[in-house]
A and B are shown apart, each in its own frame.
Chain A
Amino acid sequence: MKAFTYERAKDPVAAARAVAGRSGAKFIAGGTNLLDLMKIEVETPTHLVDVQDLGFDKIEATKDGGLRIGALVTNTDLAADERVRRDYAVLTRAIVAGASGQLRNKASTAGNLLQRTRCSYFYDTNMACNKRKPGSGCAAIGGYSRQLGIIGVSDQCIATFPGDMAVAMRVLDAVIETIDAEGQRRSIPIADFHRLWGDKPEQDTVLKPGELITAVTLPRPLGGKHFYEKVRDRASYAYALVSVAAVIQDDGTGRVAFGGVAPRPWRVEEAEALLPKGAAAVTARAFQGATPTKDNAFKLPLATRALASVLAEAKG
């Protein structure tokens, strides 16, 4: 870990300014991912701006019948919120499928969206990694890639976004609210939030330097049955090989997004329109153009079968 300086921000614009104006500065909230990465020098910030005093810890109803989740609401609190459990059960299910109780107590909503990939080559500073060190190459390509991406990846990087919460939020059409150093606010649909790697795998999201997440809003509830099917070798405390977040209506229509397969929660609206035709039809469209490796080609049939499991349960 490199030595770094630290400050606790008192208001959001000051926090954004503190990061925007200083190269090597980063926000820290729960720190559950950032600190681990700093210890092994995958992340080497020179300055940390702690945002935990900024409030942003409430879940409030919005005028149009949705919910506004403060950026600092912990994963535990979000999953346990009565309204979330009742109206957005897919979100609760996704959150409790991730990490461990201790981590969820500390991890924030915004931080969860910003967690970095778990690619083993990203974690080992002896290995080439375009995401960690732009232009150095990608040791994962041609290496051990069982856990890595099958779609939306590039010849620069085949890592995945590893989270669960965001997959459920993608199904719910969440919107990410931010503020920047000039005090400008913007709303970013989650569909546009995580980038595909392309030739800039070091950039995980569309956030500009110093742009601070203040909240995530959920539109009004969708109704229907909510599912989060997370497939993994170990029963708990493991990243998804494939996960399926789905909201299925009584008429068989619905929404579905996949986790563990791409640089972002993978939802293809044209594919989910095929839900009434069954899982195979949906995944055939959703994963059109997939480029799996030998190690992770199983994720294609697995995604189909995991969705089939959800659809069978929905029919109940």
Chain B
Amino acid sequence: MARMKFLCDAERCIECNACVTACKNEHEVPWGINRRRVVTIDDGHHGDEKSISVACMHCSDAPCQAVCPVDCFYTTPEGVVLHDKDICIGCGYCFYACPFGAPQYPQEGAFGARGKMDKCTFCAGGPEEDNSQAELDKYGRNRLAEGKLPLCAEMCSTKALLAGDGDIVADLFRNRVVRRGGRPDNWGWDTAYKEQL
């Protein structure tokens, strides 16, 4: 079975934030929560400026999963890291452990008390029945169950953001690097998947 991965090609990302918007709209993500964000390094420095779209990378040995006190995370056979909002207690540990800053919390109560965690699902919903109303309400759309890939990558105008079978994503990116020269900077892969291209 395919191992799902994200890859953002920093040579192509133009910081249009369409992935962020697409994600928010597709999943009806609540106010104040962004499952995906675009970060620009050396912003304003001509020639050095690089942008990367980042969300949950669906790590192989996910730190969030390891520190969760109620063990609400699970990895699907496709390598997508999902969590059960009925089990989550909103303790914040996954946010402390995550290298990518993926977990987000709606504020619930005074003094910043956290509600149930929300993060990128690789458009794969949650533990509820596929494409049920309950799944839509809690986790957003389950595009993988419909045979589609994550919308952020599908919408990307420069095809900087790639999502899908890790082998195919790696091949696409490797071909690009061969044609344009330079080094493959598959950002975040060594952290998330413990491997380079």
Do A and B make up one complex? no
Give residues in A with beta carbon < 8 Å to B: none
